[in-house]
Structure 1
Amino acid sequence: MSLGVVILVHNALGRATEVIRHWALSGCPVVVHVDSAMRPARFERFRAGFDDISDRVLFCDRHRCEWGGWGIVAATQSGARMMLDSFPEVAHVYLASGSCVPLRPVSELTAYLAARGDTDFIESATVADVPWTVGGLSEERFSLRFPFSWKRQRWAFDRYVALQRRLGVRRRLPAGLVPHMGSQWWCLTRGTLEAILSDPQRPALDRYFARVWIPDESYFQSLARRWSKRIESRSLTMCKFDFQGKPHLFYDDHLPLLRRSDCFVARKVWPRAEAIYAQMAAGGHAAETAEPAPARIDRVFVAATERRVRGRAGLYMQSRMPNENWENGFTAAPYGVLEGFAELYEGFEGWFARASGATVHGHLFAPEGAAFEEGATLWRGGLSSNAVLRDHDARRFLTNLIWNGRGARQVFQFGPRDSQHVSWDIAKDPNARIGVISGAWAVPLFRSGRAVADLRDTAARLQKTEADHLGVLRSPYAKARVRIWTLAEVLEAPSEALAQMLADIAPSRVGVLPDPPPMLPLDGFGGFLQEMRNRGMHPYLTGDIPAEPRTRPRRPAPKPYLVSRPNA
């Protein structure tokens, strides 16, 4: 008999019973620690379940085990002391919990340890070399005091930490102690464990670590460095953590991954993972002399964490209130935003849809409601054209539209008359392809036929809104592909803006540019703008459009000239 197991139990007693009996019936003596928070009657019923193997399963003194507190270390010390005193033939002591399930036959583990009789398997790294601490306390867990429970007394915990920081508190380390950290789950040789429990400085060490935060990740990890002859800084128990520092829970669908890892023990297994517990009961997955290799499945867990934290492009974390800016890309696919084109060209949306092959909507953020393609009032995914529903969360309206329509390029019109809730969102979105004809808002005003005096305030408001929007698009934070033309520039070369936006929004389009749609008649538009200026509203965003149409000056006819011939 060369391997003894100390097991810490606090819940899921049915599964813990299966695990303890499996270790014991496989030839390993077991010392069990049960959290003192468990009611005495329940504890006695649990202990009575091992009366038939009471020579191999012992129960040590009970301690209150609270996450982050000293009780877990005290429980481990009690269990380890009983193991060393009661089973002198034990050469290695394995620390596990009631939810740590053996994956391979116990005989393979005992053979593996017998071949490495002087080796301690304990993850032990200096604080500076530990990248996995989560929560902002790494060196400080050793230099500050933590008398309050992080879970039950969080307010007092946080305030006391802040007070110590403000006062510059620094605890003095016991002589010769170099703090190390690592996984709680280890396998130590008898000699190393006996030396740790019999350390001459143990009273001082215990007093010090009793006020360290999460001492079960540092007590044995630090003292093993003092007494061990040979350390392999790794745990034989596979334990994966998520980005918040919480252990992954293994389910039945993880079983193929667990087998691939060739690890001896997995922590932490869901109590209802029937297939994993059934494999344990059947003797485990035999891997003969294979070396445990948890790194083989790291790629899967990294991908799972990436999916959990960032999700798929255009989707959000699944919670009641998604964290701002945690999305993996604001939208799911590239899309187009055209500003001013529909105001200038007749039948523009239909023409652009035919030319680009995209789904072209009208003004999705118009005050009267979303103008979906072909005038639909309800679009894919149950998106409603109702303005109140849309503006309740305009950002999600936009991202849902792009996600639901990701089979085709989505294009919509935008302008200063529209709700500006998504102005910054589209500007910062790398998927957005934005084309702006600044000042095109003046065309519908001109064609309305109303008096300039009645339109002056409306024009000023629209220009102010568009100026603010253009400032956003020109911001250093903007990541969209943005092209801006003044209305005057487009009137000079109507096809240039259309060609560039077709190239941006439909880059795979081949063939010559189709004939542009007819431009709305603008006779007298220059005079309309001049009348605006005369009334004190300068429409500078339109560019330089003269009051009278420019006419090219006629060249004077060339003067005749005579070539005289010299006299013969």
Structure 2
Amino acid sequence: MSLGVVILVHNALGRAEEVIRHWALSGCPVVVHVDSAMRRSRFERFRAGFDDISDRVLFCDRHRCEWGGWGMVAATQSGARLMLDSFASVEHVYLASGSCVPLRPVAELTAYLAARRDTDFIESACVADVPWTVGGLSEERFTLRFPFSWKRQRWAFDRYVALQRRLAVRRRLPEGLVPHMGSQWWCLTRATLEAILSDPQRPALDLYFARVWIPDESYFQSLARRWSTRIESRSLTMAKFDFQGKPHLFYDDHLPLLRRSECFVARKIWPRAQAIYDEMAAGGHPAGMAEPAPARIDRVFAQATERRVHGRAGLYMQSRLPNEGWENGFTAAPYGVLQGFAELFEGFEGWFARASGATVHGHLFAPEVVAFEGGGAPWRGVLSDSAALRDHDARRFLTNLIWNGRGARQVFQFGPRDSQHVSWDIAKDPNARIGVISGAWTVPLFRSGRPVAELRDTAARLQKTEADHLGALRSPYAKARIRIWTLAELLEAPAEALAQMLADIAPHHIGALPDPPPMLPLDGFGGFLQEMRNLGMHPYLTGDIPAGPAPRPRRSAPKPYLVSRPNA
């Protein structure tokens, strides 16, 4: 007999009984600690289940084990003391929990330890040298006091920490103590464990660590450095943690990964992972004297963590709706936003669709209805054409549209008459390719035939809305590929503007540029703008358009205002 196991139990008693029996029937004496929070009657029934092997399974004094508190260390001390006093032939003591399941035959573990009789397996790293801590407390967990429960008394916990920081409280470490941290699941030699439990400074050390935060990750890890003659700073129990410092739960579909790791023990195993428990009952997956290699599956868990934290670009769903700014890309694919083009060119949407090969929608954010391509509704992903539903969460409407339309470049029309909920979103989105003809909203007003006096207030409102939108596009936060022309500049060289937007939105489209669509007649437009000025509403966003005949397009014209660096 060379290996004894101390097991900490607090729930899933049926599975814990299976694990305890497996260790005991494999030749290892077991000392069990059961959380004192468990009802006495339930505890007695659990203990009575081992009467047939009571010579190999003992129960130690019970303590209240609360996460982050001293009870976990006290429970381990009680279990370890009983193990050393009751089983003189034990040379190594393995600390485990009721959810730790042996993956390989126990005989392989005992043989592995027998070949390393003087080696302590305990993860023990100097606090000053590792950035493992999650939650903001590293060295402070040793220099401040933590009398309150982090889970049950969070308000008091946080405020007492803040008070100690403000008062510059700094606890004095016991003489000779160098704080170390690591996994609480260790395997120590009898000599090292006996020395820790018999340390002459133990009363002072216990008093000190009783007010350390999460002492089960530092008590034995620090004292092993004082008494061990040979430490391998690693745990023989495989445990994986996520980006929040919470342990991964292993399910049946993880079984091939667990086998590949060749670890002796794994935690935490889901109580209903029947295939994993069945393999344990069958003796485990033999690997001979192979070294545990948890790094073999690190890449898989790193990819899982990356997917969990960042998700897929542009995908949002009930199970994962990240905080603003945490998205792994606001949208799923590049898309185009055209402002003012459909107001100037006849049949523009159909022409642009043929020229670019893109899916070209109308005004998706129009106040009356969502103008999907071809007027169809619902669109892909059961997107409704209801303006009210769209405006309930316009950002998600946009991201759903781009996600559902993957495989074809999505393009839609936008303007100051539309809902502006996504104005800043598209400006900050690197996937957006935006072309704006500022002041083009005046053309539908001109063609309405209504008196200028009736249109003045509407024109003022539209101009203010467009000015705000242009402010977003020209801000230092804008990341989209943006081109801005005034209406006057566009009228001088419309074909050039169309060619540039085609190049931005469909850069890989092959074929000669088709003839541009005909422009709507604008005879008398300059006079219309002048009348607007005469009424005190200066349409400055149109640029300088004289009151004479409509301007004729020229071959060359000023380049558009390019806001951001080009993106493919």
Give the TM-score of the pair, scaled to structure 1: 0.95
Counterpart residue identity of residue 80, structure 1: A
List aligned pairs for 1:430-469, cutoff 5 A. 430-469=430-469
Deviation at 1:48, TM superposition (A): 1.1
Q: Deviations over 1:78-123 (max 9, x none)?
A: 0001111111111111000010000001111111111111111111
SS in 1 for 2:343: helix
List aligned pairs for 1:142-541, cutoff 5 A. 142-316=142-316, 318-319=318-319, 322-541=322-541
Counterpart residue identity of residue 485, structure 1: W
Deviation at 1:355, TM superposition (A): 1.0
SS in 2 for 1:191: helix
Which moves more between the two structures, 236-245 or 538-547? Answer: 538-547
Question: 1:335–1:402: 8 Å Cα contact kept in structure 2?
Answer: yes
Calculate the aligned-residue CA RMSD, in Å. Answer: 1.3
Distance in 1, Cα, partners of 2:65 & 2:442: 73
Question: 2:491–2:551: 8 Å Cα contact kept in structure 1?
Answer: no
Counterparts in 2 of 1:535 and 1:176: CA distance versus 1, 3 Å: same
SS in 1 for 2:440: coil
Deviation at 1:138, TM superposition (A): 1.2
Counterpart residue identity of residue 414, structure 2: F
Question: 1:316–1:327: 8 Å Cα contact kept in structure 2?
Answer: no
Question: 1:311–1:317: 8 Å Cα contact kept in structure 2?
Answer: no
- Structure 2 residue runs without a partner (length 5+): 553-568
Distance in 2, Cα, partners of 1:317 & 1:17: 40
Distance in 2, Cα, partners of 1:535 & 1:323: 47
Counterpart residue identity of residue 377, structure 1: A
Distance in 2, Cα, partners of 1:474 & 1:305: 36
Distance in 2, Cα, partners of 1:388 & 1:412: 19
Q: Deviations over 1:183-211 (max 9, x none)?
A: 01001111111111111110000001001
Give the TM-score of the pair, scaled to structure 2: 0.95
Q: Which residue of 1 aligns with 2:83?
A: 83
Distance in 2, Cα, partners of 1:163 & 1:111: 52
SS in 2 for 1:5: strand
Question: 2:525–2:550: 8 Å Cα contact kept in structure 1?
Answer: no
Deviation at 1:413, TM superposition (A): 0.3
Deviation at 1:322, TM superposition (A): 4.1
Q: How many residues align?
A: 552
Counterpart residue identity of residue 271, structure 2: P
SS in 2 for 1:343: coil
Q: Which residue of 1 aligns with 2:71?
A: 71
Distance in 2, Cα, partners of 1:228 & 1:133: 25
Which moves more between the two structures, 371-380 or 169-178? Answer: 371-380
SS in 2 for 1:313: coil
Counterpart residue identity of residue 542, structure 1: T
Deviation at 1:130, TM superposition (A): 2.8
Distance in 2, Cα, partners of 1:474 & 1:288: 66
Q: Which residue of 1 aligns with 2:20?
A: 20
Identity of aligned residues (%): 89
Distance in 1, Cα, partners of 2:40 & 2:354: 78
Distance in 1, Cα, partners of 2:175 & 2:226: 12
Which moves more between the two structures, 251-260 or 442-451? Answer: 442-451
Distance in 2, Cα, partners of 1:265 & 1:551: 81
Determine which structure has more spread, i.e. the larger CA radius of gyration: 1
Structure 1 stretches (4+) deviating beyond 4 angstroms?
Answer: none
Question: 2:432–2:480: 8 Å Cα contact kept in structure 1?
Answer: yes
Counterpart residue identity of residue 147, structure 1: P
Q: Deviations over 1:508-541 (max 9, x none)?
A: 2112110111000001111111222222222121
Counterparts in 2 of 1:317 and 1:66: CA distance versus 1, 3 Å: farther
Deviation at 1:52, TM superposition (A): 1.3
Q: Which residue of 2 aligns with 1:566?
A: none
Counterpart residue identity of residue 51, structure 1: D
Q: Which residue of 1 aligns with 2:560?
A: none
